[in-house]
Structure 1
Amino acid sequence: MGRLLVAEFRKTLTTKSWWGLMIPAVVLAFGFALGWGAFANEVGDVLSSSETQIIAQALGIETGHLPMGLLAIGHGINIGLTFPVIFGVFALAGEYSKKTITTTFLTAPNRVSVLTAKMITYSVWGAVYGLVVAAAASLGIALTVDGSRLPTGGQWLAVVGASVLAGVLATLFGIGVGAVWNSVVGSVVTLVIYLLVIENVLVLIFYGLWRVDWLGGVLPNGTMNGIVGAIGAQAFGAAGVKVPGLDAEAQWTLQYVAGAPGAFSWWASALVFFAWTMVFFAGGWVANQRRDIT
C-alpha cells in the first residue's frame, strides 16, 4: 500500500491538473468572498443604523456586532470547492482516457488496493483544496468586512475545519462520478452544469412555486454547500437553532444569503453529502471491479 500511495502522489504531482484547477479555485473563492463581503458589510451598516436599532431593541435582538462575514465566506468557499470535485474525476476516469489504467491495475496486487490508494491520496488533496480555498475566502472577507463583523476565532476555525471536510468529500464525490461514468469530459461537463445551474434553479423554482424549503438540504450540491454555509446560517439562527420571531421565509432567505438554502445544520449537511459520496463511490468501485482493461 505504501508504494501504491507514493505512485498515486507522483501521478498527481507530475501532471498540471492539481495546480491548474487550484488557480481558478483560489481566484473564484477570493472574488466571490470579496463581493459578498462588501454586500454583507453594507447590510451590516443598515442593521447598525439608529432606525433599525430601535426596532431591533423592541424585538429583543442585538444587531450591532453580527458576524456578517460568515454570510459571505460560505459563498467563496462553496464556489471554490467545485474544483476538487473536478479534480476527483481525473482519479479514475482520467487514467482510462489516457490508457494508463492498464499499467496501474497490472502492477498492483488487486484493484481494491488501487482504489483504496486513490481514495487516500485524493482525500489528502481534497483537504489541501479545502484549506487553500478557505484561506482565499478568508482574505476576501477580511478586506471588505469591518473588523467587528468578522467571524470570531472559534467561528473561523469551524469554517476552516468544515471547508477541509467538504473538500475531502467533494473530491471523493468526483472520484465516484468519474468512476461510474468513465469519461472525463462527460463527467466534468455534467457536474459543472448540474452543480452551478440545474440544482440551483430547481431549489429556487421549488421554493418560489411550492415553498419547498428543504430541497437544498438533501441534494448533492446543496449539502456540499451546507457543510460550510450552514455555519453562517446557524450564527443568525437560520439553521440548526431558532431565533424567536424568525419566520420560515426569513429563515430560508438567510440560508440563501449564507450559501446554504435548505440546510438543516452543518453536520446534517455533511452526513447527507457523505451518503451521496458513498453512493457514487460504491457504484464506481463496483463498476471498476468488472470493467475490462485493454
Structure 2
Amino acid sequence: MGRLIRAEFRKTLSLHTWWVLIIPLVVLSFGFSFVWGRITNDFVGYIGSGTAGELARAVGLDPDAFPVGLLSIAHGVNIATLVPLIFGVFALAGEYHSRTITTTFLTAPNRVSALSAKMIAYLVWGTLYGVLSFGVSALATLITVDSEGLPTGPQWLGAFGGTVLVSVLVTLFGIGFGAVLNKVTLAVVLLLIYFLAVENVLVLMLWDTTTVLGGILPNGTANGIVGGIAADAFGIDTLNLPGAVETWEQYGLQMAAGAPGVFSWWASALVFFCWTMVFFVAGWAANQRRDIT
C-alpha cells in the first residue's frame, strides 16, 4: 500500500494541476476575506443597531466586540473550497481522460487497493489545500479587521479545523462526482454551475417558502461548516436564532456568515459528510465494474 500511495503522489506532482490550482485558491481566499473584512468592521451598521443589540444580548457580548473576523474567514475559505473540489475530479476522471487508469489498475494487486491509495493521497492534498486556504484568509483578516473584532484563540482553532475538514470532504466529493460521470470537463462545469449559481438561486427564490434548503443541500452544508462556526459565535445559526428575527433578516444575517439556512456547524458537517459518502461510494462502485480496455 505504501508504494501505491507514493505512486499516487508521484503522478500528481508530475502534473501542473496541483500548483496551477493554488493560484485561484490564493486569489479567491485572500480577495473574499479582504473584502468582507472591510465590510464587517462596521457589522453593527450592516445589520442595524436594534438587531445588533438583540444578538449581543443573546450571546452575552458587546456589539462592538463581535468576532467579525470569523465572517471574513468564512467567506474566504468557502469560495476557496471550489479548488479542492475541482482537484478531486481529476483523481479518477482525469486518469480515464489521460488513459493512465489502465496502468494504475494493472500495477496494483486489485482495484480496491488502487482506489484506497488514491483516496489516502487525495486526503493529504485536501488537507494541504485547507491549511493554505485558512492561512491566506487569516492573513487577509488580520490586515483588514480591527483588533477588537478578531476571533479568540479557540475561535481561530475552530475555524482552522473547520477549514481543513471541509477541504478534505469537498476533495472526496469531487473524486466521487468525477468518478460517477467519468468526464473531467463535464464534471467541472456542472459542479461550478451548481455550487456557484443553481443552489444559491434556488435557496434565494424559495426562502419565503422554506429556509431549510441551505441547511440540507450540498453547497449550503459545505459552506455551513466554517460559516456555521461564525454563525454560532453570533447566535445567528438557525438552532439559536432569536425568535424576533424576521425571515429575510435571517437570510441577511446568515448570508453575512456565508451560509444562509445554516442550522449549526456540526449539523452542516454531518449532512455534507452524508452527501460526500453518497457520491464517493457511487464513484467507487462504478469503478469496480468499469471497463479499462
- TM-score, with normalisation over the residues of structure 1? 0.93
Structure 2: segments with no counterpart, 5+ residues: none
Is 1:216 the counterpart of 2:223? The answer is: no
**Structure 1 pair 35–292 and aligned structure 2 pair: CA distance change class (3 A):** same
The answer to whether the Cα contact below 8 Å between 2:179 and 2:286 also exists between their aligned partners in 1 is yes
1-structure distance, mates of 2:235, 2:107 = 54
Deviation at 1:284, TM superposition (A): 0.5
Q: CA–CA distance in 2 between the matches of 1:144 and 1:276? A: 35
Which of 53, 57, 60 is the matching residue for 1:56?
A: 53
> Take 2:113 and 2:228, find their aligned partners in 1: how far apart are those partners?
36
Where do 1:116-195 residues align within 5 Å? 116-195=116-195
**Partner SS state of residue 216, structure 1:** helix
CA contact (8 A) 2:224 2:258 kept: yes
Residue in 2 aligned with 1:275? 274
CA contact (8 A) 2:239 2:263 kept: no
Give distance in 2, aligned partners of 1:2 and 1:60.
Answer: 54
Kindly indicate whether the alpha-carbon contact (under 8 Å) linking 1:74 and 1:258 is maintained by their aligned counterparts in 2. yes
Task: After the TM superposition, list the runs of 4 or more consecutive aligned residues in structure 1 that deviate by more than 4 angstroms.
Answer: 243-246
Cross-structure match for 1:252: 251
- Please say if residues 236 and 242 of structure 2, whose CA atoms lie closer than 8 Å, have aligned partners that are also in contact: no
The residue correspondences of 1:83-102 to structure 2 (distance < 5 A) are: 83-102=83-102
| Aligned counterpart, 2:227 | 229
Q: Provide TM-score, normalisation by structure 2.
A: 0.93
Distance 1:97 1:237, change over 3 A: same
Instruction: Read off the aligned partner of 1:114 and give its amino acid letter.
Output: A
Mapped to 2, the partners of 1:84 and 1:153 lie a distance apart of: 26
Residue 139 of structure 1 and its aligned partner are, at CA, apart by 1.1
Q: Matched residues in 2 for 1:201 and 1:159: separation? A: 26
- Give the counterpart letter for 2:53 in structure 1: A
SS in 2 for 1:263: coil
- Counterpart in 2 of 1:206? 206
In the alignment, which residue of structure 1 is the partner of 2:42? 42
Q: Which residue of 1 aligns with 2:236?
A: 238
Distance 1:241 1:221 in 2: 19
Residue identity over aligned pairs, in percent, reads 57
Q: How many residues align?
A: 287
CA distance in 1, matches of 2:245, 2:153: 29
Separation of aligned partners in 2, 1:215 and 1:23: 32
Is there any run of 5+ residues in structure 1 with no aligned partner, and where? none
Task: For residue 64 of structure 1, report the CA deviation from its aligned partner.
Answer: 2.1
CA RMSD of aligned residues (A): 1.9
Which string of whole-angstrom CA distances, capped at 9 and with x for unpartnered residues, describes residues 237-262 of structure 1?
11165254542523332111100111
Equivalent-residue separation in structure 1 for 2:14 and 2:169 (angstroms): 23
| 1:14 match | 14
Cα gap change, 1:43 to 1:287, in 2 (>3 Å): same
Q: 1:47 to 1:289 in 2, by over 3 A?
A: closer
1:64 match: secondary structure:
helix
Asked if the contact 1:47/1:64 (under 8 Å) is kept, the reply is no
For 1:273 and 1:243, the matched residues in 2 are separated by 22
In structure 2, distance between residues paired with 1:151 and 1:199: 29
* Deviation at residue 42 of structure 1 after TM alignment: 2.4
Listed one character per residue, the Cα deviations across residues 52-97 of structure 1 (whole Å, up to 9, x for unaligned) are 49x939x846312111111221111000011100000000000000
Query: In the aligned structure 2, how far is the partner of 1:111 from the partner of 1:252?
Result: 46
* Distance in 2 separating the partners of 1:172 and 1:60: 40
Q: Distance in 2 between matches of 1:187 and 1:217?
A: 23
Report if aligned partners of 2:40, 2:46 keep a CA contact under 8 Å in 1: no
Rounded to whole Å, the distance in 1 between the matches of 2:206 and 2:53 is 31
